[in-house]
Amino acid sequence: MIRIGLKTGAREVRISSSAEFHLMEKTPEAPRWRVDGEVRIRIEPGSAPTPAAYQVQVASLSNPDRAAELGARLERDFGAPVAVYLNEAMGTHQVRIGSFADREEARDLLGQLASAGYPDAFLTRAEAREESGGARPGVELFLSGPDQLSQPSRAGFFITPSSGSDFLSVDGKPYRGALDIIPDSGGRMTVVNQLGLEEYLFGVVPAEMNPATYPEPAALAAQAVAARTYALKNMGRYRSQGFDLTNDTRTQVYNGVNGEREITNDIVRGTAGIAIYYEDELIDAMFMSTCGGRTEDASLVYGSSPVPYLKSVVCAVESGTGEGELVLEGHHGLEEPFLADDGNLANRNLELARLLGIGPSGPNARSPGYFAAPATPGETREWVRAAALIVHGAPPENPPRGVDPTTRGGFILYAAEVLFGPGTLSRRISTGDTEYYMANIKDGDRVPESLRRVLSYLMQQGLWRPNADNSVRPEDRLRRGDALSLLLRWTEAARPGTLRQGVFAELRRGDGDDSVIAIRSGNRTHEFRLAPEPALFRIDQGQATPIHSIRLIGSEKITFRVGPSDRIDFLEIELSPSGASSDRHSPAATWQTDATRSEVAAKLRPLTGDIGTFLDLEPHRTGESGRVVEIRAVGSRKSVLLNGYKVRNALGLKDTLFTLGRTFGADGQVERFTFNGRGYGHGIGLCQTGAYGMARAGRSYEDILRTYYTGVDIRKAY
């Protein structure tokens, strides 16, 4: 059995069930009630906390606001009462947590604080306080329910369902097993869920690793075994408060029956009793969301003794082997590069224009020489007509007259009027903006008035760029390639759904032309057949490069077109910015956050103490993964070295795997910090997203666990 703290410091709680349930006061020979309905248990007015002998002091701060902030954070994170006392002699505010009758009870909380980044916390005698007039010592609960059921109690209540298939609900949320209602020493009550360990894991595994997001059985099995091991190893961690583990991220997230999923329940059953050992001892199976490509040595994160199975390991099965990679092949009608008049490679636009039916598709349209030749009046009008069919679903009724579409300026006016509407673009930009943009082009003062506003708007929207020499030259003859490249960009802008987007999930080779690509969009994965010779491009910083093959491992961004035959005939693929690490599937694989110097100073003050005016942060030492394990806070009076993990918690960063950028003010002082990071969590042990990536590459749950926990044995614990 395991006992999970669902609520601490509660004043009132509602208990119900879909069927009858049993309830009894926790006193000798107490009657057992059969209840059909809801009972409410509350703190009896006039109750007083049991006098405490010991508390844990976390900090002594001169600033009362900072002390209050720290107290609120401690109460939120640890679920224990916090008090702030003024030491008048020293002029400081002492932040203390907990309320314990003896030293042994307090030691558990002391250990939890040290693990969470408060190693300087210490045990102290509780402040003596006078009881309010008439208050009774000890906490009294009062229970009320149907059929005039009422019962006061100083001992608490124990509640069980009438059968193993029924659930008890706490404030409307159902749980398996029994409930234990305990008066605490702080004048409130604690609600504990007592149930079997395997049933507990039903509510843990999907809460820690959502099977809808990570639907790989091997990854979920690794999480189940790690969660079971963690629970066995940490049993009794919160014994002083009447339970073993919490239901939140302080230990393991547990969501009860509502969080259960059939797939994870089956996986828990399939791994029942299996745990992880190192030299015949259960390991502390720590895990986190995303490691950022490599986990960290536990001793460096916490500044503690080395743990042999919690070492820094690379989170990638593909490194150096090519394993898990899939090769996608493409074909190009235009093999040689063609540069548009603005100096950018135009092959992508020319090939997509051909596929959309805007440009020519014959054998002549396969060489740079064809596209470098001047466009004819008939060609330009036909191409604009084809684009209008895509954008508007109909050809232009009254195409512009008196405009020569074979000149650069004439084509822009002609095509813009057909695709965007007569005079539309000129009305969308002010005279001031027009003058601003034209003043920054070499021959802007020689551009005809009818063209100036159109060009300025297109330039503002990123739909047109001047020539490579920063000129317009509106009277120059227009090349075929420039006309088609520009027309394609405008077609995509006027009809955004021309291409679709998603994330690469899988590639399956079939016989002949039956290859299938799976592309994920949001929470759904769709399968598409591939054309025999799709046009294939790699995106690098916005530039599309034609390629003949690309190696994929999953999570790459894909932009694609489904052609008339319901096959993908055009793909643009952006390589994963997280590289080949197995946790690249996580949204926290890379992240960025900013904070002003004053914001950082305020959040770090409980750690730095009085160092004068806070000036800068300087990473001092990094671990094997690149995580910042020590960071220097620089002040006008002195500098102090801080534990990186404590700084991460204080600043609310996702991880300590970051590089630090700075923005300086006019006075030369740091004005703002930018944290460019990877990963989410403490960086120790099993990487949940990495486990998913390894499972996708074919690794078993045992392989996954042995990757993250070095030198361990995996076997039955019971």
Least confident of 91-95, 219-223, 672-676: 91-95
Show the tokens assigned to 72.
């609120």
| 8 A C-beta contact, residue 698 and residue 324 | yes
Start-end of CATH 3.30.70.1070 domains in the chain: 51-137
Query: What is the reported pLDDT for 133?
Result: 35
Mean pLDDT across 511-530: 83
pLDDT for position 88: 64
Q: Is 400 helix (H, G, I), strand (E, B) or coil?
A: coil
* CATH 3.30.70.1070 describes domain 51-137: yes
Confidence of residue 137 (pLDDT cuts 50, 70, 90): very low
pLDDT over 70 (residue 51): no
Residue 112's pLDDT is what?
A: 80
Average pLDDT over residues 117-129: 72
Length of the chain: 718
Highest mean pLDDT among 74-88, 419-433, 627-641: 627-641
Angle at 528 between CA 524 and CA 531, to 5 degrees: 155
- Which has more confidence, 680 or 133? 680
For 46, phi then psi, to 5°, come to 95, -10
pLDDT at 49 over 70: no
Euclidean distance between CA atoms 206 and 220, whole angstroms: 8
What are the pLDDT digits (tens) for 139-154? 789 999 998 898 999 9
Q: What is the pLDDT of residue 87?
A: 73
**What local confidence, expressed as pLDDT, does residue 430 receive?**
93
pLDDT band at 333 (very low <50, low <70, confident <90, very high): confident
Q: What is the pLDDT of residue 325?
A: 57
Q: d(Cα 115, Cα 130) in Å, to the nearest integer?
A: 34
Question: By percentage, how much of the chain surpasses pLDDT 90?
Answer: 64
Q: Give CA–CA dist 325/551, Å, rounded.
A: 6
337-341, long-range: CB < 8 A, 24+ apart: 337/368, 337/546, 338/368, 338/371, 338/372, 338/481, 340/481, 340/482, 340/485, 340/486, 341/408, 341/467, 341/468, 341/479, 341/482
